Amino acid sequence: MEEQIFNERTNLENLNQAVDALKEEVAKVIIGQENMVELLLVAILADGHVLIEGVPGVAKTLTARLLSKAVDVGFSRIQFTPDLMPSDVLGTSIFHPQQASFQFRNGPVFSNLVLIDEINRAPAKTQAALFEVMEEKQVTVDGHTYSMEAPFMVVATQNPVEQEGTYHLPEAQLDRFLFKINVGYPNTEQEVAILRLHHGQGNDNLLTGINAVMGKDLLLALRKQVKLIHVEEKLLGFIAALVAETRNHKHIYLGASPRASIGIMNASKAYAAISGRDFVTPEDIVFVTAPVLRHRIIITPEKEMEGGTPDEVIQEIIQSIEVPR
């Protein structure tokens, strides 16, 4: 009877077909990195921004470009540099002598999927230009507000190793990313497959064979469907307990905000939908907790000196709280 109620509540057949089609297109180019791809698909359906961190050459930028082709939406790329100004991102008002008036010219942030490459290379004033657009999906310039066309998603990349010429991202901006995805090296078998792919490609661009399998309207409809995924009251309590523990943990200097709780809930709904369920399980919540929290908490200097990482502390928190059944 319970299963029948779930089936009546929302039919996930179209969503699962769309996700399978996206995965199929991504697999044409991206070998391995299953966790990154899975989390990116979750973020697309949960309407969240993503920060991807990894050393150069692990397909961070390529994956974002690939998604923009597979999902038929507008795409723009912004290369962040130390001399980049806020107007270079948002746009600027230009004076037209003929009309004796100013006209606003859109910056590259006015798109559907915005790739920000090396986001930590721009100074604080340029970082601050993203606060409003990432949270409220609008830009205010010279007293006028300009709204983003839905869907709007920021995928940003950064290199965790090279620190020269980079700037620390403000906590307020980090909090606006749904996920921080850590991307590692492929294993030897995967690297051989990557070499085989590039060898067989010849002079063709890797993205040439990628087909658009999802349009704007379908994506927006699927996002509405994801919001209807059922979450039991005890699981809401589980999410709240996880986030509350980050504010009381002895190894955490700065805990997560309520935005993190909302992020875990929305992401677990999307992951449940991708998994073919219209109800959230504790496993869904555990799967998304680390990528939602790792960039939102700051561990204590003592823990950091011991070689501890945010992910280790998050796992301690998950294990310390009883999972509801």
Q: What are the pLDDT digits (tens) for 289-312?
A: 999 999 999 999 999 999 899 999
Q: What is the mean pLDDT of residues 44-62?
A: 92
Of the two residues 8 and 66, the one the predictor is more confident about is 66
Based on the domain organization, do 180 and 280 belong to the same domain? no
Q: How confident is the model at residue 8 (pLDDT cuts 50, 70, 90)?
A: very low
The answer to whether residue 9 sits within a structural domain is no
- Comparing C-alpha atoms, which of 37, 31, 35 is closest to residue 196? 31
| pLDDT > 70? residue 125 | yes
The answer to whether residue 38 sits within a structural domain is yes
The answer to whether residue 4 sits within a structural domain is no
Q: What is the mean pLDDT of residues 115-142?
A: 92
pLDDT at 316: 95
Of the two residues 97 and 289, the one the predictor is more confident about is 289
Based on the domain organization, do 168 and 125 belong to the same domain? yes
| pLDDT > 50? residue 82 | yes
pLDDT at 9: 60
Based on the domain organization, do 250 and 313 belong to the same domain? yes
| pLDDT > 90? residue 61 | no
pLDDT at 202: 66
Select from 202, 222, 242 the last residue of a domain.
222
Q: What is the mean pLDDT of residues 117-140?
A: 92
The answer to whether residue 116 sits within a structural domain is yes
Based on the domain organization, do 59 and 174 belong to the same domain? yes
The model's pTM: 0.91
| pLDDT > 60? residue 6 | no
Based on the domain organization, do 32 and 119 belong to the same domain? yes
Q: What is the mean pLDDT of residues 211-226?
A: 93
Q: What is the mean pLDDT of residues 212-237?
A: 94
Q: In this predicted model, what pLDDT tens digit does every residue of 188-210 receive, in sequence order?
A: 999 999 999 888 876 567 788 88
Based on the domain organization, do 270 and 323 belong to the same domain? yes
pLDDT at 2: 45
Q: Of 26-35, 89-98, 119-128, 223-232, where does the model show the most confidence?
A: 223-232
Based on the domain organization, do 135 and 31 belong to the same domain? yes
Based on the domain organization, do 184 and 271 belong to the same domain? no
Q: What CATH number corresponds to the domain at position 67?
A: 3.40.50.300
Counting the structural domains of the chain, the total is 2
Q: How confident is the model at residue 119 (pLDDT cuts 50, 70, 90)?
A: very high
Q: What is the mean pLDDT of residues 38-52?
A: 96
Indicate the average pLDDT of the chain.
90
Select from 180, 198, 222 the last residue of a domain.
222
Select from 181, 199, 222 the last residue of a domain.
222
User: Above pLDDT 90, what percent of the chain?
Assistant: 67
Based on the domain organization, do 134 and 247 belong to the same domain? no
Q: In which domain, by residue range, is 256 found? A: 229-325
Three-state SS letters, the chain: CHHHHHHHHCCCHHHHHHHHHHHHHHHCCCCCCHHHHHHHHHHHHHCCEEEEECCCCCCHHHHHHHHHHHEECCEEEEECCCCCCHHHHHEEEEEECCCCEEEEEECCCCCCEEEEECHHHCCHHHHHHHHHHHHHCEEEECCEEEECCCCCEEEEEECCCCCCCCCCCCHHHHCCEEEEEECCCCCHHHHHHHHHHHHHHCCCCCCCCCCCCEEHHHHHHHHHHHHCCECCHHHHHHHHHHHHHHCCCCCEEECCCHHHHHHHHHHHHHHHHHCCCCECCHHHHHHHHHHHHCCCCEECHHHHHCCCCHHHHHHHHHHHCCCCC
Based on the domain organization, do 238 and 320 belong to the same domain? yes
